[in-house]
Amino acid sequence: MSKARFELYVDRAGDHRWRLVHDNGNVLADCGEGYASRQKARQGLESVKQNAPDAEVTVLDDG
């Protein structure tokens, strides 16, 4: 069973957004931009689910 869920919500500016939230309440990822409609926000989160299930990790610093 997944320990995270996607949430669709409307921000203070009235834009639609999504975020991925762990069961403990921590936000794991978010859309980073507002969408004009809930439909567009849902399309964005579905794109992430479909296009990145096995995405590679690239380290960009030496830390």
Q: pLDDT tens-digit profile of 14-30?
A: 999 999 999 999 999 99
Rounded Cα–Cα distance for residues 9 and 49 (Å):
18
Which residues lie below 8 Å from residue 24, measured CB to CB, with a gap of 6+?
none
Rounded Cα–Cα distance for residues 40 and 43 (Å):
5
Instruction: State yes or no: pLDDT of 63 exceeds 70.
Output: no
* pLDDT at site 1: 72
User: Which residue segments constitute the domains of the chain, with CATH numbers given?
Assistant: 4-51 (3.30.160.160)
Q: What is the pTM of this model?
A: 0.82
* The residue type at 6: F
Rounded Cα–Cα distance for residues 54 and 36 (Å):
29
Confirm if 20 and 2 have CB atoms less than 8 A apart.
no
